[in-house]
Structure 1
């Protein structure tokens, strides 16, 4: 490794329990040497400067403890720059934290790779690696691999301007062994400017699992929460889950093309998210489902313009009608997906959005199995201005149970088959003019105390307000309590957030 400015390099090796004990180092060689002897409770601080690597900075087999983690951090947040060929490679590490670096190196290699690591935390870093005009392969920035990975956390980072194929964050595991990384958490990050790839595959902002992991039904229990995504528009799968039993909650998506997609796997939850488009243009989507027994509730959607796969909500036909498939390995193809089955969609609000998509009118090649046995209840669809398109595009579905939803008054009421899903009335909402300008319930709204079955399963609404008694229709429970959660802003996420 080559140090571009050696006179700027100063690192301090601190014992975690006693900051006064320090060892000063002044070269990348010394950094490598110090890293080789890391032990529980040690804090290694890297001074301001530009560190030009010829290969990954490898840290192997270093194990802190829950009480005494190993900490490797920039002495001043953001001012230790990793340049050159690659970032950090952690292998077989545990209870370790990487904090405060800025990554500007060649994106041909990862900024951070975790291989068979657990309880490793990647926090308060800035990721803006240099992408090649003609990349050699897919360029992932932070990856979690290995059958023994789990309980890692990626939080309070900034990921910005992604152009080439690959994801800023990719939590996988081991596709060959069919073992997902388990119980990882992605939270309080700021993702911005994932550039639209004009239909090219492989530009998801966040990915979990993998083709074989998802198709075989393996669970990862990943939690993706409290992140802000702005202009993340790489492709129609904005967040792509290819594993089972995940939670996506309390995220804010602003002007992002594509949709949150349960691509492969079952039993995932999408709740408490704000997905808003305030700009003109096509393709702004919401949530798209494949697979069994997903739950979609307490979400707020506004101004979304997408259609079909990028619709504000979409139940999409699949290649299979079982929760798992043998279409893995060489049998896998791009249509490998299970039709959405036994999914529960309730207590959501859509405002001024294009039609919700329930199945397709015509069978797509390789997708002959239609959405089956899903529930759509206690949802609120609002039009604050005239729109020529219907509330719903209804295609081929089986045994859909849709009732007791509320929609804006229409005169005359539509004669479409889906009209019976709704009660049509003036929703009596109030525009909250600060921030993104969301529409809130008032005490006069017919949504108040109007929900039917399913209320007991939801202790809170999208703002963290308690749902009491007979619940309100839509994402919000009317009341005077101060919101616990809301639309995230840049000062609440990323490296400098509280």
Structure 2
């Protein structure tokens, strides 16, 4: 069934969200939509809906107990075609569920403007990108100074080629206010195509240049997502805001790195970042800014260098107490040197060198990483590699202690070698099936961590940390893991 000119939606006003009306005509949509109220349920019949100009929902406010529900009658069977998807303005407690977006990507699939508690869930996003795009093509965007507490979850985002991000949580650049406390979780992102150095191909973005350079906080949580072959550019996640959480995500064969681009105090924890394919540029985490915490992450097989290294502390262009002092004094390359960042209890297996500063100054990047702590980390190589564990450049006041390493190549006499206690790789880790390398029962990393000023309550698998703790991302335990690497059946529209 094909319905021209519009997605059809309909209205059922009822005190019980369990009641609904299935409709399939644009006439019903245009006549009844303005009366949407708390508890209204819209169900869209199976078919392809060609929306000219998109669906605009303005000022509709449900409640926590009685949300407004707009959903496909059967998940994945109502297709949104035409020129655009949904635009919601000033809406609260609205649910969009179960659609497939195949419209022209020149306009967003879902635009939330000044919305609160809107949930975008169990949809599939594959809008048709133009051969010659007019502008950046974002798919799901959160905008406006009055946005916050929205959730984007259990969706599938697949194959992106043009500039723009599948998910962009921003706010208001003019008012210098971020959308706050939004959550991006349990989504499946796959096949963001490598753009050969062109900027603007991040898979997930928060904030923006004005917001990040002004030190604005978004408190965005990005958790429990699976990213596969998301390789658009060297910043596969670009956070230009402060006080975010990036945790328990699984990244498989993604070029680029999770980048703290402009902002402070973000937590990156419990992520699995793994490359199983050959090729350059598979990166880990890159830090700019102040007081970030990177802990309990597992990295394997990463091949990136310098800016997209398995871990990178990169010199910056500004030397300020915090990023809010930059203000309008920025350009697209603006970044502050990583300062007072805390890197603890991470594990790297068979990775390219970690990058600590640069040996010589890059153009405009004269401010070196300062007063960072590198503690209780584990680096293991199970095979011969021609590169060192660490590329050490210019740093200031780095504190490195309690770390352990093993290599099959001869011991290094470089300055960084003093950061580590060295052990045999066979006694440290073992491979169990297709998952990550795990500690052995006799591993010298067990109970060997230095006491850290900041405590970590659990490990990457959700096991409680003991005192003294184990070195690396894992705390050895015979208990079942609470968290593990994500697979496709655990995320996306059909996941539990």
Tell me what 2:480 maps to: 482
Distance (whole Å) between structure 1 residues aligned to residue 259 and residue 22 of structure 2: 48
Is this contact kept in 1: 2:250–2:271, CA < 8 A? yes
Distance (whole Å) between structure 1 residues aligned to residue 14 and residue 430 of structure 2: 53
Tell me what 1:151 maps to: 149
Is 2:14 aligned against 1:15? yes
Q: Secondary structure at the match of 1:203?
A: coil
Match of 1:425 among 423, 426, 430: 423
Once the two structures are TM-superposed, the CA of residue 13 in structure 1 deviates from its matched residue by: 3.1
Question: Relative to structure 1, is the Cα distance of residues 276 and 108 closer, same or farther in structure 2, using a 3 angstrom cutoff?
Answer: same
Distance (whole Å) between structure 1 residues aligned to residue 355 and residue 143 of structure 2: 35
Match of 2:378 among 377, 380, 383: 380
Once the two structures are TM-superposed, the CA of residue 33 in structure 1 deviates from its matched residue by: 3.0
Match of 2:289 among 288, 291, 294: 291
Q: Secondary structure at the match of 2:236?
A: strand
Distance (whole Å) between structure 2 residues aligned to residue 59 and residue 51 of structure 1: 17
Is this contact kept in 1: 2:50–2:80, CA < 8 A? yes
Once the two structures are TM-superposed, the CA of residue 179 in structure 1 deviates from its matched residue by: 0.2
Once the two structures are TM-superposed, the CA of residue 455 in structure 1 deviates from its matched residue by: 7.5
Is this contact kept in 1: 2:17–2:66, CA < 8 A? no
Q: Secondary structure at the match of 2:480?
A: coil
Once the two structures are TM-superposed, the CA of residue 411 in structure 1 deviates from its matched residue by: 6.4
Question: Relative to structure 1, is the Cα distance of residues 429 and 412 closer, same or farther in structure 2, using a 3 angstrom cutoff?
Answer: closer
Distance (whole Å) between structure 2 residues aligned to residue 60 and residue 10 of structure 1: 14
Is this contact kept in 1: 2:22–2:44, CA < 8 A? no
Structure 2: tracts of 5 or more residues without a match: none
Is this contact kept in 2: 1:56–1:88, CA < 8 A? yes
Q: Secondary structure at the match of 1:102?
A: strand
Q: Secondary structure at the match of 1:457?
A: coil
1:130-141 to 2 correspondences below 5 Å? 130-141=128-139
Once the two structures are TM-superposed, the CA of residue 457 in structure 1 deviates from its matched residue by: 1.2
Once the two structures are TM-superposed, the CA of residue 18 in structure 1 deviates from its matched residue by: 5.5
Tell me what 1:71 maps to: 69
1:456-471 to 2 correspondences below 5 Å? 457-471=455-469
Question: Relative to structure 1, is the Cα distance of residues 335 and 23 closer, same or farther in structure 2, using a 3 angstrom cutoff?
Answer: closer
Match of 1:370 among 339, 362, 368: 368
1:121-270 to 2 correspondences below 5 Å? 121-270=119-268
Tell me what 1:86 maps to: 84
Tell me what 1:3 maps to: 3
Once the two structures are TM-superposed, the CA of residue 63 in structure 1 deviates from its matched residue by: 0.4
Distance (whole Å) between structure 2 residues aligned to residue 43 and residue 218 of structure 1: 37
Tell me what 2:47 maps to: 49
Is this contact kept in 1: 2:314–2:337, CA < 8 A? yes
Match of 2:23 among 15, 22, 25: 25
Match of 2:344 among 340, 343, 346: 346
Q: Secondary structure at the match of 1:309?
A: helix
Task: Pick which of 10-19 and 355-364 moved more.
Answer: 10-19
Distance (whole Å) between structure 1 residues aligned to residue 268 and residue 185 of structure 2: 15
Question: Relative to structure 1, is the Cα distance of residues 455 and 16 closer, same or farther in structure 2, using a 3 angstrom cutoff?
Answer: farther
Distance (whole Å) between structure 1 residues aligned to residue 8 and residue 337 of structure 2: 56
- What is the root-mean-square deviation in Å for CA atoms of aligned residues? 1.7
Tell me what 2:448 maps to: 450
Distance (whole Å) between structure 2 residues aligned to residue 419 and residue 257 of structure 1: 28
Question: Relative to structure 1, is the Cα distance of residues 122 and 411 closer, same or farther in structure 2, using a 3 angstrom cutoff?
Answer: closer
Question: Relative to structure 1, is the Cα distance of residues 394 and 468 closer, same or farther in structure 2, using a 3 angstrom cutoff?
Answer: same
Is this contact kept in 2: 1:14–1:23, CA < 8 A? no
Once the two structures are TM-superposed, the CA of residue 324 in structure 1 deviates from its matched residue by: 1.9
Tell me what 2:387 maps to: 389
Is this contact kept in 2: 1:327–1:336, CA < 8 A? no
Q: Which runs of structure 1 show a deviation greater than 6 angstroms over 4 or more consecutive aligned residues? A: none
Using structure 2 for the length normalisation, give the TM-score.
Answer: 0.96
Task: Pick which of 303-312 and 424-433 moved more.
Answer: 424-433
Task: Pick which of 292-301 and 395-404 moved more.
Answer: 395-404
Distance (whole Å) between structure 1 residues aligned to residue 102 and residue 276 of structure 2: 31
Distance (whole Å) between structure 2 residues aligned to residue 380 and residue 38 of structure 1: 56
Q: Secondary structure at the match of 1:434?
A: coil
Distance (whole Å) between structure 2 residues aligned to residue 3 and residue 374 of structure 1: 59
Structure 1: tracts of 5 or more residues without a match: none
